[in-house]
Chains A and B, each alone.
Chain A
Amino acid sequence: MPYVRILGFVTLLLRLVMAAIGPVVAATPIPADHAFQLRAQLDEEEGIELNWIIAPGYYLYRDRIVVTLDGQRVRTVTEKGEPKDDPNFGLVEVYHGNGTATVPAELLPEKGRIIVTYQGCGENTICYPPVSKTVDLVTLLIEEAPAGGGSVPAAVASGGNQSGVAADVATWGPSQASGTATEAGMFSGGLVSTVLAFLGFGLLLSFTPCVFPMIPILSGMLARAGDRLSLTRSFVLSASYVVAMAAAYGTLGIFVAWSGENLQAALQTPWAVLAMSAVFIALALSMFGLYELQLPQSWTAKLAAAAGNKGSVGGAALLGFGSALIVGPCVTPPLAAALVFVAQTGEVARGSLALFALGLGMGLPLIAFGVLGAKVLPRSGAWLARVKHIFGFIFVALAIWMASRALPVALTATAWGAMFIAIGLYLDVPSLLETPRWRSASLARGAVGVLALFYGCVLVIGAALSDYGPLQPLVTAGLVASADAKGADGFQVVSNEADLDKAIELGRQQGRSIMVDFSADWYTECLLMERNIFAQDAVRQRLRGMLLIRADLTHFNASSKNLMQRFAVVGPPTVVFLNPDGSEITDARVVGDIGVSGFLGRLAKVSRA
C-alpha cells in the first residue's frame, strides 16, 4: 500500500503549507483606532460629516458620540442606529460597519478645531475607553486629541496630585526578593523538568524537515531486515535506532560540558554555514539520481554483518548513532544553543542527560514511523523516484535557507527563484510530452507547476530589482517597505525571518551592533520588560547607536517558529545581541526579566565584544 505513505507525505506537506499561510490569530483585540477609523468630510451646505468605518465584529455607541468646540458641546446629528435589545445591555443604539454624524455648518466657525469623542466595543469581547480626536475645520486633518480631551483616564490623572502619585508609585519599587535570572537558571530547575523540556524541544525539532533524511535510512534498514519483521521487532529496531541517536547527542553533551566551548559561534561562521549548505546540495543531487550515496548502505550492510544477522539491534543502534551526524547540520542552530546552555552549566551528567532527552524527543516520531511504516514498506517503483525527487527539492530548499545567512540577499533570492522555476519545469515538462493518464491529477500537477514557474520568475525578477521577500514576493513595494517601519520606541518590528535577515543585513552594511528582542504580546513578562528595561533612560542611552529589532512572536505560525529557531530562542522574552557581522555575542544573551542593572551588565559585555 505505498499510496498510503504518499498520502501521508502529501498531507504533511499540505499542513506545512497551511501552517505557513494560515496563522492562528492570537486572542489579542485590535487597537481602538483599527476598530473604528474616523474620516471627516466638509460640505459647504451641511457642515462637517464624520464617518466611521467599523471593523467587523465591533460596534460604536450612538449616544457616546460627542463633539466639542472650545470646551462647549456642539449639537451633532447622528443617524439612527441598530437597536441592541439584549436585556442585559438596556436599550441602546449602535452602529455596525459604518456610522455617520454631522455637525451642522451654522454651528461651526471658519477656522479652528473640534474634538470628536466616541466609544465602542468588540462584540462579546472588549469595551474601549472613549477615543478623542481633533479635526481641523480647514484641513480636515484628524489627530490624536491632547490628554484631557474628555478621556476618563485623563480625568482620573488630573484629579490627583500628579507628583504625589508619581512619588508614591516610586516607593512601590524595590521588592524584597532579589537575584538575577541567568541562562544557567534553566538548570536550577529540577532535573525532571529540564529533561522534560528538552524532550519537548526535541519533539518540536522533529516537526522540521530535518528528520526526513532519517526516514529512508530507517526504512531501508527495516526493509533489509526482511520478512521477519513483526510489530514488536520493528519497534525494538526503531527504538534502538532512536536511543542510539539520542546517545550520540548525549555524548556530544558530555564533551561540550567538559570543554565549555562556545560551539555555536563556531557553527555560525559563514564557512561552516556554507559547508553545511553544500552537504545538503550533495544530498539533493543524490536524491535526483545523479549518483547513489552508497556509503550509509554499505555501512549498514557491514554493521549488520558484523552484528551477525540482518537487522540486528546492535546494527540499528550503530546506524542511529551515525544518523545523529546526518541530522546534525539541519538542527545545528537549536542544537548548538542547547549545547551552549549545557556548556555554561558545566554539569556533565545533567547536560548530557538533557541532550539525550533532546535526541529522544526528535526520535519519537521515528519510532512511530518505524512501527507503522513496517506494514507499508515500499516496493520500489516509480513513486519512490518521485518521493526521492521531492526530498531532493526539500534538501535544495534547506541548502538555500542555510546559505542565505552567508550569501548576499539578491543571490539568495535568485537561488529561491531558480529552485521554484526548476520545480515548475519538473512538474510541467513531462506532462507536455506524455499523454495524461489521470486527467485531474495531471491537470493539478500542471497547475502547480505553472504557479511554481510564475513564483520563481517573480523572485528572480524581484532579486534583479533587489527587492527581496521570498515569503511575500507579490506584495507591492510599499508593503515590503513596512519592514523598515519603526515602532514608537525605536524598535523595528519583524515577524518573519526574511525581514529579520533584511534588518541584520542593514546592520552589517552600517557596521552597527544589533539587539533583537523576541517578544510576544500575550506574555506579560515581555510587556513588563519593555517598560521596565527598554524604556529606562540609562538603558536607552546605552542602546544608542545600536540597531533595535523586535521579533514579534505574538502570532504563532511558521514564521514565528522560524524566527525562534533562527537564534535558538526557547521562548519570549529573550534578547539576543549580534556583532555587526551578524554573529551572536552569546554571553550577553538575556533570557527573562533580569532587571535594569542586570541588563546594563549584559550591555557592557556587548560593548566589550
Chain B
Amino acid sequence: MLNPITRADFLRLTAMSASLLLIPNLARADDNEITRDMILSDPDAPVAGNPDGDLTIVDFFDYNCPYCKMAAKSLEKIVKTDGNIRLVYKDWPILAETSIVGARLALGAKYQDQYLPVHHALMDIPGYGISQEQMLNAVRKTGVDQPRLDADMATHADDILRLVKRNLNIAEAIGLQGTPGFLVGAYKVNQALNYDGFVRVVADARARAKSSK
C-alpha cells in the first residue's frame, strides 16, 4: 500500500475496469459518424501484418515526416516479431505539398498490389522536404509497373482522394496534432515511439482487450 500507482498501472487498471463496460460490439453509427469500422476496417486502407491478429495498430504518417520514418522501423519490427498484430496504414499527407504526391503514388500502387513496396521505398527516403523527383526515383526502383501505376492513379484519382479525405477526417476526429500518430488498440499515441515504447503500449492494449473478453 506504500507504492504509488504508476501511469502504466493506472492505464491498466482503468482499462481493465473501463473495458468491462465497453462491450466489444460496435456502437450503432449515425450519419456522419466516424465509426470504429472506418478507422479499423476501411476496405480501401492498406493492411499489413497478420490479418487475423488479435491487436490492430493504425499508423497515421506522412512521407515528409522524419520521425514517422524513424518510428516505422520499430513498428515494422514489432509487427514482425510479435506476429499477432494487424497493421492499418493511413496515409495522412499534411506536412508538405509533395506529401500528397507520395500518398497518391503509394495508394495508386495498391491497385497492382504493390502498396507495401512503394510505401517502404518512400519511407526509406530520409528526412523531410522530399522532392517529387526523389519520390519518383524511389518508386521506380521498386519494380512497380509504371504505366499501370500512372493509369491507376488517373482512373482512381477520386477514390484515392476520398480515402485521403477520410483519413484526414479520422485524424481530426481523434485529435491527432501531427505526425506520426498511432492507434494501438484503444490507445492513442501521438508521437514517434522506439521499439520498447511499442512493446509497452502493445502490452497495455492487449491487457485492455483481454479483460473485455
Q: Which of A's residues lie within 8 Å of B, judged by CB?
A: 8, 11-12, 15-16, 18-19, 24, 26-32, 61, 63-64, 87-90, 92, 119, 121-122, 124-130, 152-153, 155-157, 159-161, 164-166, 168-170, 172-175, 177-181, 183, 185-186, 188-190, 193-194, 196-197, 200-201, 204, 206-207, 211, 365, 368-369, 520-525, 527-528, 531-532, 536, 556, 570-572, 574, 591-598
B residues 35-55 near A (Cβ < 8 Å) are 35-38, 42
Q: A523's closest neighbor in chain B, by CB?
A: B186
A306 to B186, CA, bound (A): 55
The 4 closest A-B pairs by CB, nearest first: A571-B18, A365-B1, A90-B127, A125-B191
Q: Return the contact of B25 from the options A88, A156, A173, A181 (Cβ within 8 A).
A: A181
Other 12 A-B pairs with CB < 8 A, given A157-B165, A173-B32, A177-B26:
A8-B2, A124-B67, A128-B178, A161-B158, A172-B166, A188-B23, A197-B17, A528-B36, A570-B20, A570-B21, A591-B22, A592-B23
Q: Is the CB of B187 within 8 A of A523?
A: yes
27 A-B pairs whose Cβ atoms sit less than 8 Å apart in the complex: A16-B4, A24-B6, A88-B70, A90-B129, A92-B129, A126-B177, A126-B180, A128-B177, A128-B178, A152-B99, A155-B100, A156-B93, A160-B161, A164-B162, A169-B169, A188-B23, A197-B20, A200-B16, A206-B1, A521-B188, A524-B187, A524-B188, A570-B17, A570-B20, A571-B18, A571-B21, A572-B18
A368 to B23, CA, bound (A): 35
Query: In the complex, how many angstroms separate the beta carbon of A530 from the nearest chain B beta carbon?
Result: 8
> Hey, what's the 0/1 contact readout for B168-185 against A, CB within 8 Å counting as 1?
110001110111100100
Q: A150's closest neighbor in chain B, by CB?
A: B97
Q: Return the contact of A181 from the options B11, B21, B164 (Cβ within 8 A).
A: B21
A570 to B34, CA, bound (A): 25
Q: Is the CB of A89 within 8 A of B128?
A: yes
Query: In the complex, how many angstroms separate the beta carbon of B100 from the nearest chain A beta carbon?
Result: 6
Q: Is the CB of A174 within 8 A of B28?
A: yes
Q: Is the CB of A156 within 8 A of B14?
A: no
Q: Is the CB of B16 within 8 A of A528?
A: no
Known: A193-B213, A207-B5. A185 touches B23 (CB 8 A): yes
Known: A29-B177, A173-B30, A524-B187. A189 touches B35 (CB 8 A): no
Asked if B133 lies at the interface with its beta carbon under 8 angstroms from chain A, I say no
Q: Is the CB of A18 within 8 A of B95?
A: no
A369 to B2, CA, bound (A): 10
Query: In the complex, how many angstroms separate the beta carbon of A539 from the nearest chain B beta carbon?
Result: 10
Q: Is the CB of B66 within 8 A of A121?
A: yes
Q: Is the CB of A126 within 8 A of B178?
A: yes
Known: A88-B66, A197-B17. A127 touches B162 (CB 8 A): no
A178 to B161, CA, bound (A): 30
Known: A29-B178, A531-B34. A522 touches B187 (CB 8 A): yes
Q: Is the CB of B35 within 8 A of A172?
A: yes
Residues in B neighbouring A536, C-beta threshold 8 A: 30, 32
Q: A18's closest neighbor in chain B, by CB?
A: B4
Residues in A neighbouring B116, C-beta threshold 8 A: none
A285 to B10, CA, bound (A): 35
Query: In the complex, how many angstroms separate the beta carbon of A418 from the nearest chain B beta carbon?
Result: 29
Q: Is the CB of B25 within 8 A of A179?
A: yes
Known: A172-B35, A180-B27, A536-B30. A27 touches B191 (CB 8 A): yes
Q: Is the CB of B174 within 8 A of A175?
A: no
Q: Return the contact of A124 from the options B33, B36, B70, B178 (Cβ within 8 A).
A: B70
> Hey, what's the 0/1 contact readout for B114-142 against A, CB within 8 Å counting as 1?
00000000000011110000000000000
A183 to B158, CA, bound (A): 43
Q: Is the CB of A556 within 8 A of B22?
A: no
A26 to B94, CA, bound (A): 24
Known: A127-B95, A173-B32. A32 touches B22 (CB 8 A): no
Q: Is the CB of A152 within 8 A of B25?
A: no
Query: In the complex, how many angstroms separate the beta carbon of A528 from the nearest chain B beta carbon?
Result: 6
A169 to B183, CA, bound (A): 20
Q: Is the CB of A11 within 8 A of B2?
A: yes
Q: B126's closest neighbor in chain A, by CB?
A: A88
Q: Return the contact of B32 from the options A169, A201, A570 (Cβ within 8 A).
A: A169
Residues in A neighbouring B31, C-beta threshold 8 A: 170, 173
Residues in A neighbouring B106, C-beta threshold 8 A: none
Asked if B15 lies at the interface with its beta carbon under 8 angstroms from chain A, I say yes
Q: Is the CB of A152 within 8 A of B94?
A: yes
Query: In the complex, how many angstroms separate the beta carbon of A598 from the nearest chain B beta carbon?
Result: 8
A89 to B188, CA, bound (A): 26
Q: B38's closest neighbor in chain A, by CB?
A: A172
Q: Return the contact of B22 from the options A18, A90, A181, A597 (Cβ within 8 A).
A: A181
A598 to B183, CA, bound (A): 26
Q: Is the CB of B37 within 8 A of A172?
A: yes
Query: In the complex, how many angstroms separate the beta carbon of B140 from the nearest chain A beta carbon?
Result: 20
Asked if B85 lies at the interface with its beta carbon under 8 angstroms from chain A, I say no
A571 to B93, CA, bound (A): 34
Known: A15-B2, A181-B21, A200-B16. A156 touches B161 (CB 8 A): yes
